[in-house]
Amino acid sequence: MDGTDDPTAFGRLRQAGSGVISDCMMRLGLHGWMDGLHPVGGGERFAVGRARTLLFGPKRGEGGWSKTMYATIAGLSAGEILVFGTGATKENLMGDNMASFASRHRLAAMVTDSTVRDSAGIAALPMPVYSAGTAVRLPMNIEPVALDVPLNCGGAQVRPGDVVVANEDGVLIIPAARLADVLHQAEDVLVIETALQAAIAGGAPLAEIEALVKRKKVPRA
């Protein structure tokens, strides 16, 4: 982790929003977009937190994960986000009971590239769950392998301690060491974005609008 004061930094990320953060990542040459993951139940859900990663793999029949999922969740800290890397299995890996347990332990969110079940119950929780959809197929062929290891989730590489930003549009991963850089860019992009919105609303000339769009792509020194 980079030592940034998380409450302040996370508040600034919330203010910026996922679109601005995505623009900042593009400026810096960072890649951390997950594909096809959205909040269960839809709606405007926003979560920011440090990633704890849980890698899944095909069942072996021996030497399995030594903890239950509930014990694994109980070992996490409030405000963290548990990210599952499953290889996009079609099997559901959680229902509303597990999600409710995580919510009671004050996790900021759960993110999985698998499906989930009990979507109505999950959607009613204060803690959002981001998944690749819903299904009734049971997890018969996949199991947890390791906690806090680098993994792939939804096409993004995620490492323990990375910053997860998730809302109704999708999920972003900011490398832990680049959080301050993203926040530095966000201050500039927010100003440009506000000016661009005003220019469009006010019927500004095309040249002015295109100049602002071009500025958004140039990294701030």
d(CA 205, CA 192) in angstroms, rounded, equals: 16
pLDDT in tens, 150-177: 999 999 999 999 999 999 999 999 999 9
Instruction: Examine residue 54 and state whether it is found in any structural domain, yes or no.
Output: yes
Considering the domain architecture, whether residues 54 and 74 belong to the same structural domain is answered as: yes
- The whole domain housing 206 covers 181-216
pLDDT in tens, 88-142: 999 999 999 999 999 999 999 999 999 999 999 999 999 999 999 999 999 999 9
Considering the domain architecture, whether residues 91 and 195 belong to the same structural domain is answered as: no
Considering the domain architecture, whether residues 195 and 168 belong to the same structural domain is answered as: no
Considering the domain architecture, whether residues 72 and 106 belong to the same structural domain is answered as: yes
pLDDT in tens, 202-211: 999 999 999 9
Considering the domain architecture, whether residues 103 and 195 belong to the same structural domain is answered as: no
Residue 4 has pLDDT above 70, yes or no: no
Mean pLDDT, rounded, of the chain = 95
Q: Domain with 169 in it: what CATH number?
A: 3.50.30.40
Q: Tell me the DSSP string of 70-126.
A: HHHHHTSPTT-EEEEE-SS-SSB---HHHHHHHHHTT-SEEEESSBBS-HHHHHTSS
d(CA 158, CA 31) in angstroms, rounded, equals: 10
Across 91-124, b (16+ Cβ under 10 Å) vs e yields bbbbebebbbebbebebbbbbbbbbbbbbeebbe
